[in-house]
Structures are given as C-alpha cells and as structure tokens.
C-alpha cells in the first residue's frame, strides 16, 4: 500500500480547498523560528495525517514532534507514510478530558493546530485551551490557524469573503487537478485499504456539526480564562487567520 501517495493526494486537495494554506504554514513556522529559545518539543493538535507536523519535522530537525488526532484513517496514513517517520502520532479525542494523559511531563515549547479546532463545541474548546496552557513551558507559544468569524464582521463583507473563497476553491481544484473533500473520501473508501478504519471513523463522526462557528472574540475570552494574558492575530487573509497566544 502506497501511504505516501495518500499523503500527496491529501495535500493536493487541502491546498485547493483552503486558500493560502501554504502561506499560512510558512508564517507559523517562521514565527516559531523567530521565537526566543530552542524548540525541543512541539505538539500538533488535530494533526490529521501530519500536514503541519511533517513541515515542522523538516524545519526543526532536532525537535521532538507529537501529533494528536482521533481520525483512524488519517492517523494510519500519517504513521505509515515515510513523511511521518519523525513524528509521534497519538490517537486521542480532544473532546475528552484525558487527552493530555501520557504526554511528556517536561511539557512543550509550542502547541499548534490548523483547520481542526472548529470541530470542538464551546465546553470542549475551553477544556483544550486550559490543558494547552498547563502543558506549555514558560514563554511557550500556542498557535491556531483556522477560519474565524468575528461578531463585528460586516454581513456584506462575509458574503464577499465566501464568494472569493468559493471562486478560489473552484479555480484551484481545476488548476491542480485535485479531488474535493467528498471525492477524496470516496477514493479512500473505494481503495479497500481502510475498511476497519473507515467503519470506526463513521462511528466517531456520525453525529453533530463539524464546524461550531465559535466567534473569534470567544476564542480570545477562553484563552484569557485559560491563563493566557494576551493573544493576537498576526496573519490574516479574509477570515483565514492565525491566532497566537504566549504563556508568560
């Protein structure tokens, strides 16, 4: 089974569906490179098959890279691909209160996430931010790259954002010859390579919304409650943003 091929197809469809994805990854890595201190240990929440984790392992060759996800299909692809050999993949449910159990007691210099935490409802997101603060070392960095809507966002601007994203997605899917989200999962299913993992995935993700639409301001509020005194949006394109908080 060619797991590297699955990674390549995943990357192509994600880069087509998420505008400025590589630029967002590059910014997050550059931010970490310019942070003070040597990054020895980094945790990626909702890592999927390891998209950001792989890039982190290449940019920080001496750091330990951990990735957490609950999707059995994506975890298997990441674990068994040659791209993910330097990453410690862990199957954990971020909606549980126990996902930090068994992580290195020394803590992490950075905790990151991209296009993942919107799956979490308010109470679970609050729990995640509290735990992130607890496992970060002093001056540790938390970054969340995702699509955030503000309560102050103009309705007309939001319509324009959505139109622009739709046109970019349509153009990139055609230009790159990429599968869309549904086509990619159909391809995985029809391959016959992941029957057990797909059955388990369907149990885990059969109910509930995949995007809880928690406003940006609520993220700031939850981060403050978790113990982060400051947070900022240093990178943004439309409502695709990188949220940064640093532990004092």
Dump pLDDT digits (tens) for 117-151: 999 999 999 999 999 999 999 999 999 999 999 99
- Length of the chain measured in residues: 248
Say what the alpha-carbon torsion angle 186, 192, 193, 196 is, to the nearest 10 degrees: 90
**Statement: residue 172 has pLDDT above 80:** yes
Q: Give the separation between CA 236 and CA 64, rounded to whole angstroms.
A: 28
Quick one: pLDDT at residue 38?
A: 85
The whole-number pLDDT of residue 207 equals 74
CA 241 – CA 144 distance, rounded (Å): 8
The predicted structure's pLDDT at residue 209: 72
Question: What does the pLDDT read at residue 97?
Answer: 87
Q: Alpha-carbon dihedral of residues 108, 114, 120, 125, nearest 10 degrees?
A: 40
The number of angstroms, rounded, from the C-alpha of 144 to the middle of its chain's C-alpha atoms is 7
Non-local (6+) Cβ contacts of 80 within 8 A are: 1, 3
CB 110 within 8 A of CB 235: no
Q: Which residue has the tokens 């992490």?
A: 108
pLDDT at 210: 79
Distance CA 223, CA 192 (A): 42
Q: Are 103 and 131 in contact (CB under 8 A)?
A: no
Rg (CA), the chain: 18
Q: Give the pLDDT confidence score for residue 226 in this predicted structure.
A: 97
Structure tokens at 153: 């966002």
From CA 130, how far away is CA 114, in angstroms rounded?
18
Statement: residue 36 has pLDDT above 80: no
Q: Are strands 240-246 and 136-147 parallel, antiparallel or unpaired?
A: antiparallel
DSSP string for residues in 66-129:
EEEE--HHHHHHHHHSGGGTTEEEEE--TTSS-TTTTS-TT-EEEEEEES-GGGS-HHHHHHHH
Q: Are 246 and 228 in contact (CB under 8 A)?
A: yes
The yes or no reply on domain 3-246 and CATH 3.40.50.150 is yes
Q: Look up residue 183 and give its two tokens.
A: 């086509």
List, for residues 71-92, the tens digit of each pLDDT value: 999 999 999 999 999 999 999 9
pLDDT above 80: residue 33: yes
- For 64, the 3-state DSSP assignment is strand
Q: What percent of the chain has pLDDT over 90?
A: 92
Look at residue 246 in the predicted model and tell me its pLDDT.
96
DSSP assigned state of 37: S
- Per the listing, tokens 């040659």 go with 82
Alpha carbon distance 99, 128 (integer Å): 9
pLDDT at 196: 97
User: What are the pLDDT digits (tens) for 185-240?
Assistant: 999 999 999 999 999 999 998 776 778 899 999 999 999 999 999 899 999 999 99
């Amino acid at each position: 089974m060619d797991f590297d091929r699955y990674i390549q197809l995943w990357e192509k469809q994600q880069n087509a569906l998420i505008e400025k994805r590589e630029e967002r990854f590059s910014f997050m890595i550059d931010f970490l490179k310019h942070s003070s201190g040597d990054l020895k240990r980094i945790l990626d929440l909702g890592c999927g098959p390891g998209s950001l984790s792989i890039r982190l392992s290449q940019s920080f060759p001496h750091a330990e890279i951990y990735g957490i996800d609950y999707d059995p299909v994506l975890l298997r692809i990441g674990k068994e691909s040659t791209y993910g050999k330097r990453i410690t993949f862990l199957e954990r449910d971020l909606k549980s209160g126990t996902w930090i159990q068994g992580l290195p007691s020394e803590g992490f210099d950075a905790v990151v996430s991209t296009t993942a935490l919107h799956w979490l409802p308010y109470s679970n997101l609050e729990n995640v931010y509290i735990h992130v603060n607890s496992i970060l070392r002093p001056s540790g960095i938390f970054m969340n790259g995702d699509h955030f809507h503000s309560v102050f966002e103009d309705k007309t601007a939001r319509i324009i954002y959505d139109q622009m994203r739709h046109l970019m997605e349509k153009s990139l899917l055609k230009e790159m010859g990429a599968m869309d989200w549904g086509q990619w999962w159909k391809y995985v299913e029809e391959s016959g390579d992941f029957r057990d993992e797909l059955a388990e995935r369907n149990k885990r993700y059969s109910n509930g919304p995949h995007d809880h639409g928690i406003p940006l301001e609520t993220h700031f509020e939850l981060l403050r409650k978790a113990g982060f005194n400051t947070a900022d949006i240093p990178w943004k394109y439309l409502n695709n943003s990188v949220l940064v908080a640093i532990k004092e």
